[in-house]
Structure 1
Amino acid sequence: MVKRVLDLSKLDLLERASQFIYSTGLNDGTSELCRNNMKYGLAQMHLIQEKYGFDPTATFISSPDETISRNKLRWDSGYGYGGKIVWGSGKDKIVFLNTKPNQCGILVGGINEIIDPYTIIKKINEINQKKIYHNDILLDWDYGISNHFISLFETKYLSDIEFPPYIFLIHGSAPEIRGDKYGIGIYIDKSKNLKNMAIKESTVFGDQYILVDSNADKYLELNNKALDFSKDKREIIAKELFENDFKIICNQHHQFLENLNTIYLGSSCTNIDSRAVESNIFPIVLRADLPAYLFEGKKNFSITTIKNQDFVDRAEKYNVLDRLQNANILPHGAGYAFPDIKHVTEVIEYKEQRYFVLSCNNKAKKIIRDPNNVQFEYRGRVIILKTLQLDLGGIIAKLNPIFSLKL
């Protein structure tokens, strides 16, 4: 007789949760840290799923940029970054709010003549002097926050697809609608209205906020409206900066609910039938001193990739093979990295807090709870190589950096 998830010990819960992590990360210290935290999030999801009568099979499928989340609540709730979490068919009426979808994305635009940084800075200053509204919401420039930016590149063609000679990227989200200023907010730790709707579920590993039944449907509708707003906002900013002298190549999201039971966390969705995906062109942006790339997405994972990653037996055992065959993931960036960290040697639990014991290059140990306060860098071209190796997509253009502007 199979033991109920609710009857398992903490150790057994974590061991079981680790079986639902399908990692394609680099297996460096940072991706290892992600996986060690992720099993706590999945274990909580499994407990809650079973309690509400759902199949306890929440699954994390990582992309090559598998890494930590620098959002404190998301990390403390047991979630990493770089990939997708799937916890049902897409129709199960349950949403996990601690995952914190934020509708972040990147607009890729083409221009025929180079524009200098001074001109952009001048235009931004002029724009900031006026108030721009969209759907009665005052736009918030978030391009000095986190890793949000405006960058310019020179195009190098690697396929028969023609692009303008210069490419710009606008990377940003929709902080305007995280709180309650315009109704129910999208962030559980910013919106009192959302928290009043939500159910707080306490587990042996911490608290999760969920929505079920009609409230789950309402939240998905809110997520979809926020996706449209975030996409429109990037286009509005592009028009303000470049007027009508540009061509939109793509405007893709990489942090959103695809349906009631799937969230993309820092990964583009290559399912062109998804409402959130407008084309089959996607950017991968590494860091300011390295080229970015435009990819053509592929349906993934292929059976060959699944076999090469040794996922088949485990996926069949837990009946999640279809989730791997419909992973449809592609990195949007390189992912944070802690170059001094080699391995996670232990996780110390104290009062629902987790302290990660890390072995470092100099044989010393570092113990952290919140990676947000740890110095990081971005990975490099190895992400591109791993993406190609896994056959997640194909390169169609190389973008050589000219400048990257953070406000």
Structure 2
Amino acid sequence: MIKDVTQVPREELLELAEERIFSLGLRDLASVLAYENMRYALGRMIYALENDDVYCVLAPDATITRNKPRWLSGYGYGGVIRWSDENVAFPEIRPNACGMLLMRLDNLPSKKDLVKRASEVEEKELELNGVKINPDFGRGNHFFELYKPLEISEEVSDVLPPDAFYAVLHSSAPELKDKMYSWAEKGEKVNTPLGYITILKNSAAREYYKDWEKLKEFSKRRRELLAREVVGEHEVVSNFIHQGLFAPNEARLGCYNTTEQEEDGLFPVALRWDFPVHVLRGKPNLSDEVIHRLEFQERAERLGLEEELRNVNTLPHGGGYKIQLPYQKIDITTTSFGNVFTLSGLKPASTMSEISEGKAISEFGGMAITDPHSLPYTYRGEAVIGKTIDLGLGDPVAKLRPVLTVKI
């Protein structure tokens, strides 16, 4: 441990942060951007905590966040962040209690009826705990989706019978989100060598966590309420959060906790509308074999994080954003209004006549951005599932084929 991190120069602070990021991510532009940005969040956290007891494990779906304030605060998406002090909170993480409700249906509603009922929900005066509900089936990457089974493992056929139908509701709780996000404006602003970070201490941190607990419970009940309104009677298979606080000193951005319940949980991993939803049985991770294979062992031992890595218990909830640009190089310039990420790849051609197959020349120039919100994107496919299974983060037990995706 560094004796006084507040005296550490900027570049050394970034090095401390880098050493504490363990990436399971794919090697693509979105994953690398997540890693590069997360260095700044962890560096600021280290400085604000006045110790280096903080680390991050990026999951196989590590990617950008399209939430601009979160990105400008230094956070990527698809990862677990833990720090030592339970009396300090970092509200710029902006937890929103996003999660997925996986449900079993005895009958599959017709597409016409489903669209009609989902549309009617938008017009209903629904309330939960005295709060008016604003359905968000079509907002961002949220959706309501119905499935027929493609593959069901015999070991889970009692919970996921092959003759049933299934649905997933992916949503958060926008009705209470503003209150949770407003904490980012209430805390103490700490000026670090890597930029400002907002922290909450002691009683403020405890009140913040109480608000989070209310938001988490509201979000879960909200999904159940909306599901009943759209499909009627159903059996809840699971209803897990994948974005938010999992302890006063632990945040997960897009990752399940595979040991959230005592018995084996079943976690839906949704890729895209044109790919099956994979259901995985959660299990403790990372294994010693994976820690050695990824060459994390020596670093984890030196930092005293061996047991932490064995109990990170992470699992992606989806494939994550894939940036549809050919860039392979990232340069970061710090300015008065934040970090500027300059993306580049092959040498740009001066004239179109220079471009031909086999030449290391591109018709594209570079691109400089402060945040990735405007970058063209799609969602990743099966590569994330393959890596998740290869790393032993969960056991595949079912595949569900999309029948209808509702985004209205």
2:86 counterpart (81, 92, 105): 92
Amino acid at match of 1:9: P
Amino acid at match of 2:185: K
Q: Which whole-Å CA distance do the structure 1 matches of 2:146 and 2:261 have between them?
A: 30
**Paired position in structure 2 for 1:396:** 397
Q: Which whole-Å CA distance do the structure 2 matches of 1:261 and 1:352 have between them?
A: 29
Helix, strand or coil at the partner of 1:310: coil
Matched, 1:248 2:246: no
Matched, 1:73 2:69: yes
Aligned length: 387
- Answer whether contact 2:282 2:393 (CA < 8 A) is retained: yes
Amino acid at match of 1:48: A
Percent identity, please. 34
Larger displacement relative to structure 2 (389-398 or 8-17) = 8-17
Shift of 1:290: 0.6
Matched, 1:210 2:199: yes
Q: Cα distance 1:98–1:305, how it changes in 2: closer, same or farther (>3 A)?
A: same
Matched, 1:260 2:251: no
Q: Which whole-Å CA distance do the structure 2 matches of 1:2 and 1:170 have between them?
A: 45
Give the 5 Å matches for 1:174-323.
174-179=173-178, 185-188=179-182, 195-196=185-186, 198-244=187-233, 246-273=234-261, 280-323=265-308
Q: Which whole-Å CA distance do the structure 1 matches of 2:309 and 2:366 have between them?
A: 35
Q: Which whole-Å CA distance do the structure 1 matches of 2:189 and 2:112 have between them?
A: 49
- Answer whether contact 2:2 2:52 (CA < 8 A) is retained: no
**Paired position in structure 2 for 1:182:** none
Matched, 1:339 2:346: no
Matched, 1:5 2:33: no
Helix, strand or coil at the partner of 1:101: coil
- Answer whether contact 2:122 2:134 (CA < 8 A) is retained: no
Shift of 1:136: 0.8
Q: Which whole-Å CA distance do the structure 2 matches of 1:341 and 1:214 have between them?
A: 47
**Paired position in structure 2 for 1:82:** 78
Q: Cα distance 1:86–1:341, how it changes in 2: closer, same or farther (>3 A)?
A: farther
Amino acid at match of 2:254: G
Shift of 1:2: 4.7
**Paired position in structure 1 for 2:20:** 20
Amino acid at match of 1:299: P
Q: Which whole-Å CA distance do the structure 1 matches of 2:78 and 2:330 have between them?
A: 22
Amino acid at match of 2:317: H
**Paired position in structure 1 for 2:30:** 30
Q: Which whole-Å CA distance do the structure 2 matches of 1:126 and 1:366 have between them?
A: 44
Matched, 1:366 2:378: no
| TM-score normalised to structure 1 length | 0.91
- Answer whether contact 2:264 2:283 (CA < 8 A) is retained: no
Helix, strand or coil at the partner of 2:124: coil
Q: Which whole-Å CA distance do the structure 2 matches of 1:256 and 1:290 have between them?
A: 26
Give the root-mean-square deviation of aligned CA atoms.
1.8
Q: Which whole-Å CA distance do the structure 1 matches of 2:240 and 2:75 have between them?
A: 22
Shift of 1:129: 2.6
2:120 counterpart (126, 137, 156): 126
- Answer whether contact 1:82 1:266 (CA < 8 A) is retained: yes
Shift of 1:30: 1.2
Shift of 1:128: 2.6
Deviations 1:130-163 (A, max 9, x none): 2111111111112221100011111123312122
- Answer whether contact 1:33 1:344 (CA < 8 A) is retained: no
Shift of 1:229: 0.5
Task: Indicate the structure (1 or 2) with the bigger Cα radius of gyration.
Answer: 2
Q: Cα distance 1:126–1:204, how it changes in 2: closer, same or farther (>3 A)?
A: same
Shift of 1:287: 0.3
Gaps of at least 5 residues in structure 1 are 180-184
Shift of 1:127: 2.3
Helix, strand or coil at the partner of 1:15: helix
**Paired position in structure 2 for 1:173:** 172
Deviations 1:243-299 (A, max 9, x none): 22x21111111001011110010011112358xxx9611000000001111100010
Amino acid at match of 1:146: G
Amino acid at match of 1:96: F
Q: Which whole-Å CA distance do the structure 1 matches of 2:42 and 2:2 have between them?
A: 19
- Answer whether contact 1:204 1:352 (CA < 8 A) is retained: no
Amino acid at match of 1:195: E
Q: Which whole-Å CA distance do the structure 1 matches of 2:87 and 2:101 have between them?
A: 32
